[in-house]
Every structure is written in C-alpha cells, then in structure tokens.
C-alpha cells in the first residue's frame, strides 16, 4: 500500500512539473540537426532517460569487489610497548 502511494506521489510531482513548464520552450542543437521550440519537460525527460541508458553498461560491466583480508593481529597489540622500549629525545620538545 505504501509503495502505491509513493508511486502516485512521484507521478503527481512529475505531472505538476510538466504542467508548470508547458509554456517554456528551448532550442536543442545536436551539431548536425537542430530542434526548435522543444518543451523543457521533454528535454529534461530525454536527458534523464539517456542518463539511465548510459549507466546500464556501467552497472553490468563493473568490477567485482575484492574479497576482504582475513583478520590478523590487532593494531593495539602492535602499538603496545614496554617502558624500556620508549626512547626519550634530547630536544626540549621531543619533535626533532
């Protein structure tokens, strides 16, 4: 039921976008051919569809994710050191 309501809301927003932009027109040039007085909603809709078509090959031919490495020794174990291993610097601030 929620899915149906959300689809109806999406179509209502889309329809209101079309109705509000009907008087707006633009010229579209593809280099070799030019289209005059194309409604804005058609150019936006065609751009959206072309974007989806371009993304399909990227989705189909994507590389597989690398498998994660097995867990090794923890970083905390590597960072622990005894007081005898800690070196003291001769500089007053210890940043040489």
How far is Cα 86 from Cα 94, in angstroms, rounded to an integer? 12
In this structure, the dihedral spanned by the alpha carbons of residues 78, 83, 88 and 93, taken in order and rounded to 10 degrees, is 80
Query: Residue ranges of the domains in the chain?
Result: 25-64
Confidence (pLDDT) at 75: 57
pTM over 0.75: no
d(CA 44, CA 53): 14
Tens digits of residue pLDDT in 2-48: 888 998 999 899 888 888 888 888 898 888 999 898 888 888 888 88
């Amino acid at each position: 039921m929620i899915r149906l309501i959300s689809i109806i809301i999406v179509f209502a927003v889309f329809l209101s976008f079309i109705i509000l932009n009907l008087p707006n027109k633009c010229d579209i040039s593809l280099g070799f051919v030019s289209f005059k007085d194309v409604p804005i909603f058609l150019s936006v809709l065609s751009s959206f569809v072309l974007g989806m078509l371009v993304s399909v090959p990227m989705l189909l031919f994507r590389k597989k994710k690398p498998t994660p490495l097995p867990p090794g020794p923890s970083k905390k174990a590597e960072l622990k050191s005894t007081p005898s291993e800690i070196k003291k610097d001769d500089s007053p601030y210890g940043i040489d």
